[in-house]
Amino acid sequence: MDRQPGFLESDLVPVSAEHARFHVIPVPYERTTSYGKGTALGPAAILEASQQLEVFDGIGAPGEAGIHTQPAVDCTGAAGEVMDAIAARVGRALDMGALPVMLGGEHTVTLGAALALKARGIEAGFVQFDAHADLRGEYEGSEYSHACVMRRVHELGFPILQLGVRDLCREEAQYRQNAQGIHFFDAEDLRHGLPETPIMPAGFPELIYITFDVDGLDAAVMPATGTPQPGGLGWYDALDLLRSVTTARRVIGMDVVELAPQPLFHGATFTAAKLTYRMMGMGSQASR
């Protein structure tokens, strides 16, 4: 079996964990996807597609600060055990002063990052790009469902800013209306561009973790995902929003999740890789 290439290894020599600015963490976890399948293949597909990226992203060359790609997280075992394994990997990156960049896998993996931040007493807010609120108490019998991940993150005490949501159940709508610390600009609010009011809520933590579910993008841009939704963010809409949040706050970590690669849509996989690299560039600039 051929070795999986590191992120952008085609043009950049991999850097040791101790000296890398970025720790790319593949997490091929898929346990609760409820429509289309294939997110377990997402991390490897993004790494492969990253070999086609330009080191210069149009603004700078963030990868030149050093990229270390960790081995894929072992996703066997009970869900709670996998979340702990993810937390250990993310925590290792944080402890080394690196920026963890997690590649999912279904959205549940974000809980592992939240556990790592919680264990270190880091006060951060989560900025969520997503078509779905992911605030259910449980779904299909599981509290670890991808449809519940942001509920679990919020229950750990982290405030959330949701961007681009356009599909949620009554339970989720009521929860985010009544809960403290959940803010949102839904897709309907963003369809004409950035809002006139500041994108970051007053009092939102200075440190932010960005979780980007690729179904936050419009299905015309991102068809390769398990639960595509019309009416989502365009490419430049997403970049504008990312730029807005990363210039207002300091990024402590990020993930790109829910890519379900499809052979006929390799452009979508490349889009996910390019999105990841643009996020790395914006997050690194904002974190220095």
List the domains of the chain with CATH numbers. Answer: 22-287 (3.40.800.10)
Answer whether residue 1 shows pLDDT above 80. no
Among all chains, which residue has been given the structure tokens 């809409």?
237
For residue 2, the model assigns a pLDDT of: 67
- Residue 208 to residue 123: CA distance in whole angstroms: 9
Mean of pLDDT values over 20-39: 93
Mean of pLDDT values over 70-92: 97
- Residue 147 to residue 135: CA distance in whole angstroms: 7
Q: Which residues lie closer than 8 Å to 245 by C-beta, 6 or more apart?
A: 127, 161, 199, 200, 208, 210
Mean of pLDDT values over 221-247: 95
For residue 13, the model assigns a pLDDT of: 96
CA 96 to chain centre: 20
Answer whether residue 34 shows pLDDT above 80. no
- Residue 100 to residue 22: CA distance in whole angstroms: 6
